């Protein structure tokens, strides 16, 4: 008999009270980030506080104010797909397909033994069309050194994954810019809860380090220009932060009903317990000053999970390292959690990976899951002097041991959308 702490009992009994039979759980994870490919490598780097940011190596950044990014250095598409397919796909789709294969393997899914019609694919991608043509054009114009053949398969990343595994179920991309990965997981959970699928491959993917995209973000003056110290550039909540740093990667999760997972006898990482989504309806690229809708997104997710604010043990912040986001998000967390805000460890793992745009929400939810699984919280690195407006516990620079029964991940995107997911430990 496992002995449960009081808090575990509270969280667990709330789960029983709910009598909800179709709880949705995570049973497989695949991850590609600038600080590691695969769960083990990614987690080891997260624990040691490694930065994945370096000078951009794939095209000439001379004329760009920002010359740094989080590149995935050791990704070999040949490990995951035939050369011909790899040549046809964009880097984004290559990442998505590779991470999906990792997740499928991790979940012990054998598609030949289940009803493929009952498997959906819903992937979050923020800037899919622009990046496809950006990549294609850069290669055609010899302005990119990582590969020589331009991609020619412009199917959505979801269709690429469905096609590879021969899955006829729902297949779509969810796009909400920088929150795409988080939103996709919330919407995928709805698909399972509605009984339209038994499994959904979901998460986020983005390969945004291309010339036009970098120029577009630079023109908004929200990127870090700390080009001489790449590893110090992404510094959420720090007084000296000067903007976000773009990174590339993917996070794919396998969702299924708890009952189904138990029947299969596979490892259950966590329950996707709550999802909240709102819109500022204020401005396409600037957050609204009052943060009302960010607060509401968090409240909705906590309520959807049938939890109270004191039940949240860890928050993975959106924490982009821009001036506006970090102080605003801090303010919103204080509004929602009151005095409790000071007691909850919060970290922004974008300090290590950079901002993975459409993949960020998914990789950060995976971070929450691994933190819960290992009872240890990854740090916010480069936090040397906290901004006076950022006075919460951001787990600066060193990982910290803590038992976590419920965690929350925030993501906010251009277009004024806000998205929050709450996960719970499954006992």
Is 178 designated active site?
Answer: yes
Please give the C-alpha separations between residue 152 and each of 143, 295, 324, 389, in angstroms, as whole numbers. 17, 42, 38, 47
Q: Which residues are CB-neighbours of 204 under 8 A, at least 6 positions away?
A: 123, 124, 125, 126, 180, 181, 182, 184, 250, 251, 356, 358, 359, 360, 361, 362, 363
- Is 126 one of the binding residues for other proteins (CB under 8 A)? yes
Query: Distance between CA 417 and CA 427 in Å, rounded?
Result: 33
Taking CB under 8 A as the criterion, which residues in 395-414 touch other proteins? 413-414
Choose between 280 and 364: whose C-beta lies nearer to other proteins: 280
- Is 205 one of the binding residues for other proteins (CB under 8 A)? no
Site string for other proteins, 344-383 (x = CB under 8 A): ----------------------------------------
Tell me the sheet residues that pair with 407.
314, 423
Nearest to 53 by CA among 400, 321, 252, 315: 321
Q: Identify whether the C-beta of residue 252 lies closer than 8 Å to the C-beta of residue 245.
A: no
Closest distance to other proteins from the beta carbon of 130 (Å): 5
Stretch that binds other proteins, among 37-45, 134-142, 366-374, 391-399 (CB under 8 A): 134-142
- Is 327 one of the binding residues for other proteins (CB under 8 A)? no
Query: Distance between CA 159 and CA 261 in Å, rounded?
Result: 25
Closest distance to other proteins from the beta carbon of 247 (Å): 17
Choose between 183 and 410: whose C-beta lies nearer to other proteins: 183
HEC string of 31-87?
Answer: EEECCEECHHHHHHHHHHCCCCCEECCCCCCCCCCCCEEECCCCCCHHHCCCHHHHH
Per CB under 8 A, the list member of 63, 84, 142, 265 interacting with other proteins is 63
Stretch that binds other proteins, among 94-102, 160-168, 229-237, 366-374 (CB under 8 A): 160-168
Stretch that binds other proteins, among 30-38, 43-51, 149-157, 313-321 (CB under 8 A): 149-157
Judge residue 154's burial from the number of C-beta atoms within 10 Å of its C-beta, 0-12 exposed, 13-18 middle, 19 or more buried. Answer: middle
Per CB under 8 A, the list member of 42, 43, 64, 199 interacting with other proteins is 64
Nearest to 133 by CA among 248, 214, 209, 212: 212
- Is 216 one of the binding residues for other proteins (CB under 8 A)? yes
Query: Distance between CA 115 and CA 168 in Å, rounded?
Result: 10
User: Helix or strand or coil: residue 359?
Assistant: helix
Catalytic residue among 178, 218, 295, 368: 178
Stretch that binds other proteins, among 131-139, 234-242, 334-342, 394-402 (CB under 8 A): 131-139
Per CB under 8 A, the list member of 93, 316, 353, 417 interacting with other proteins is 417
Stretch that binds other proteins, among 57-65, 86-94, 333-341, 380-388 (CB under 8 A): 57-65
Catalytic residue among 92, 318, 368, 390: 318
- Is 128 one of the binding residues for other proteins (CB under 8 A)? yes
Run of H or E including 333: helix 323-337
First vs last Cα of the chain: how many Å apart?
A: 12
- Is 156 one of the binding residues for other proteins (CB under 8 A)? yes
Supply 228's token pair.
């001489």
- Is 166 one of the binding residues for other proteins (CB under 8 A)? yes
- Is 302 one of the binding residues for other proteins (CB under 8 A)? no
For the chain, how long is the longest CA-to-CA vector?
65
Supply 297's token pair.
């997104």
User: Helix or strand or coil: residue 392?
Assistant: coil
Is 92 designated active site?
Answer: no
Taking CB under 8 A as the criterion, which residues in 174-193 touch other proteins? 174-177, 183, 187, 190-191, 193
Q: Identify whether the C-beta of residue 254 lies closer than 8 Å to the C-beta of residue 199.
A: yes
Taking CB under 8 A as the criterion, which residues in 86-105 touch other proteins? none
Per CB under 8 A, the list member of 30, 211, 230, 361 interacting with other proteins is 211
Per CB under 8 A, the list member of 27, 94, 182, 293 interacting with other proteins is 293
- Is 158 one of the binding residues for other proteins (CB under 8 A)? yes
Query: Distance between CA 13 and CA 31 in Å, rounded?
Result: 32
Judge residue 193's burial from the number of C-beta atoms within 10 Å of its C-beta, 0-12 exposed, 13-18 middle, 19 or more buried. Answer: middle
Per CB under 8 A, the list member of 170, 310, 335, 340 interacting with other proteins is 170
Is 318 designated active site?
Answer: yes
Q: Which residues are catalytic?
A: 178, 318, 355
Binding residues vs other proteins (CB under 8 A): 63-65, 117, 125-130, 133-134, 137, 141, 154-156, 158-159, 162-163, 166-177, 183, 187, 190-191, 193-194, 196, 211-212, 214-220, 277-285, 293, 296, 300, 413-417
């Amino acid at each position: 008999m496992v002995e449960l702490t009081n808090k575990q009992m509270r969280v667990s009994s709330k789960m029983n009270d709910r009598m909800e039979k179709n709880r949705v759980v995570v049973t497989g994870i695949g991850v590609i980030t600038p600080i590691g490919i695969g769960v083990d490598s990614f987690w080891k780097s997260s624990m040691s506080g490694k930065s994945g940011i370096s000078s951009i190596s794939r095209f000439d950044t001379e004329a760009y104010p920002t010359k740094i990014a989080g590149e995935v250095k050791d990704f070999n598409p040949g490990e995951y797909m035939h050369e011909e397919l790899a040549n046809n796909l964009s880097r984004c789709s290559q990442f998505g397909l590779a991470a999906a294969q990792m997740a499928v393997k991790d979940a012990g899914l054998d598609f030949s033994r289940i009803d493929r019609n009952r498997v959906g694919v819903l992937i979050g991608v923020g800037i899919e069309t622009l990046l496809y043509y950006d990549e294609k054009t850069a290669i055609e114009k010899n302005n990119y050194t990582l590969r020589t053949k331009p991609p020619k398969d412009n199917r959505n990343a979801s269709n690429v994954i469905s096609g590879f595994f021969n899955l006829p179920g729902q297949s779509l991309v969810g796009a909400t810019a920088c929150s795409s990965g988080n939103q996709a997981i919330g919407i995928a959970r709805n698909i399972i809860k509605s009984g339209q699928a038994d499994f959904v491959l979901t998460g986020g993917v983005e390969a945004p380090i291309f010339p036009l995209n970098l120029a577009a973000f630079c023109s908004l003056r929200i990127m870090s220009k700390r080009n001489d110290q790449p590893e110090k550039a992404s510094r959420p909540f720090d007084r000296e932060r000067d903007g976000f740093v773009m990174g590339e990667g993917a996070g794919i999760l396998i969702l299924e009903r708890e009952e189904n997972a138990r029947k299969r006898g596979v490892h259950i990482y966590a329950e996707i317990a709550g999802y909240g989504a709102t819109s500022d309806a204020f401005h396409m690229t600037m957050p609204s000053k009052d943060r009302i809708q960010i607060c509401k997104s968090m409240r909705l997710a906590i309520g959807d999970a049938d939890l109270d604010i004191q039940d949240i043990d860890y928050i993975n912040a959106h924490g982009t390292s821009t001036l506006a986001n970090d102080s605003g998000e801090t303010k919103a967390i204080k509004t929602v959690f009151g005095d409790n805000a000071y007691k909850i460890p919060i970290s922004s793992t974008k300090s290590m990976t950079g901002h993975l745009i459409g993949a960020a929400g998914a990789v950060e939810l995976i971070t929450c899951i691994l933190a819960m699984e290992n009872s240890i919280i990854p740090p916010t690195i480069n936090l040397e002097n906290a901004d006076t407006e950022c006075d919460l516990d951001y787990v600066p620079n060193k990982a910290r041991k803590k038992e976590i029964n419920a965690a929350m991940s925030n993501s906010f995107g251009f277009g004024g959308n806000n998205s929050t997911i709450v996960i719970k430990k499954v006992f």
